[in-house]
Amino acid sequence: MKKRTLGKSGPEVSAIGLGCMGMSHGYLPLPDKKEMKNLIHKAVDMGITFFDTAEVYGPFINEELVGDALSSLRDKVVIATKFGIYIDANGKQGQDSRPETIKRSVEGSLKRLKTDCIDLYYQHRVDPNVPIEEVAETVKGLIKEGKVKYFGLSEPGVNTIRRAHAVQPVAAVQSEYSIWWRDLEEEIIPTLEELGIGLVPFSPLGKGYLTGKIDEKTQFEKSDFRNILPRFTAAARKTNNAIVDILNHTAIRKKTAPAQIALSWILAQKSWIVPIPGTTKLSRLEENIGSVNIELSPEELNEINTASLSIKIEGNRYPEELEKRCRL
């Protein structure tokens, strides 16, 4: 497995990581816990060293799964988790990044992950009610205490990144990035490059859409969160098939899968970008890992970029309420 370093000062990790959210949150039906532990072990065997979870996934049970699976392999892996989002009694998400909440959250995450130090600790979403300087100062204290190694932010705006980085260096920013969601290219990626911060794209396969296995006829389970996403209406899926056609065109020529082209495209953008595709299937894990060894030529990259930028993707990625929490 090839390795990459997250920015100038972040950890060295496998060139792609494994997003663990779907193993116990978001996509139904949920898979068997024992099978997911075995899948995580297989990932380590195949060279994956970077695993992503969060306090709110489940909530809590995803951290427990990751902790159980990796406790005996702790010295071989880098674990990232997140604080700052909770689910209230009505099932709605709220935000709380007050210093006292972060300090309480880290203790819970350490216990569930069965570790004495979290490698990469992200603020899950920027909390508009707590100055980012307070958040960064709190995590800085946790780093001094040895409970956290690196500070990260998820879905922040440029101003937040700069303000946080001035207090405690930010090792990595986690945000959605893929061939069908390229908003980061205008401001975020240039800022990360300037400051020496790594990028960890979540949903690099468009929540499964870029695999080519989803079309307008696909029926999701009733509680699958993609049912509320504007980009996943049947009409949007039909229109957006054009982006999958581009990936398929290159995949056929290179005798590989469209998902591998989508991931290799991301890997070709910057050497400090480490995508974290999630999966619950061994075949998909093997396919994702295989993307690390696919080389896209400058001509192929130019062809993909030219074609994809000419397509207007239909549907916002989140409902308006959720989108407001991003890029603060």
Give the C-alpha separation, 288 to 268, whole Å: 15
167 lies in which domain range?
Answer: 3-211+269-294
In a domain, 254, yes or no: no
In a domain, 245, yes or no: no
Helices (H), the chain: 33-45, 61-70, 99-112, 132-145, 158-167, 188-195, 234-239, 241-254, 258-267, 282-290, 298-309, 320-323
In a domain, 324, yes or no: no
Query: What integer pLDDT is reported at residue 327 of this predicted model?
Result: 79
Q: Residues 231-263, buried b or exposed e (16+ Cβ, 10 A)? A: bbeeebbebbebbbebbeebbeeeebbbbbbbb
pLDDT tens-place string over residues 47-74: 999 999 999 999 999 999 999 999 999 9
Give the C-alpha separation, 269 to 218, whole Å: 31
Label residue 187 by pLDDT band (50, 70, 90).
Answer: very high
In a domain, 24, yes or no: yes
In a domain, 308, yes or no: no
Give the chain's domain count: 1
What CATH number corresponds to the domain at position 165? 3.20.20.100
Give the C-alpha separation, 271 to 57, whole Å: 29
In a domain, 167, yes or no: yes
Label residue 321 by pLDDT band (50, 70, 90).
Answer: confident
Give the C-alpha separation, 59 to 189, whole Å: 30
- State whether residue 50 is helix, strand or coil: strand
Catalytic residue among 57, 122, 177, 209: 57
- Please say if 57 is a catalytic residue: yes
In a domain, 174, yes or no: yes
pTM over 0.85, yes/no: yes
Query: What integer pLDDT is reported at residue 159 of this predicted model?
Result: 98
In a domain, 7, yes or no: yes
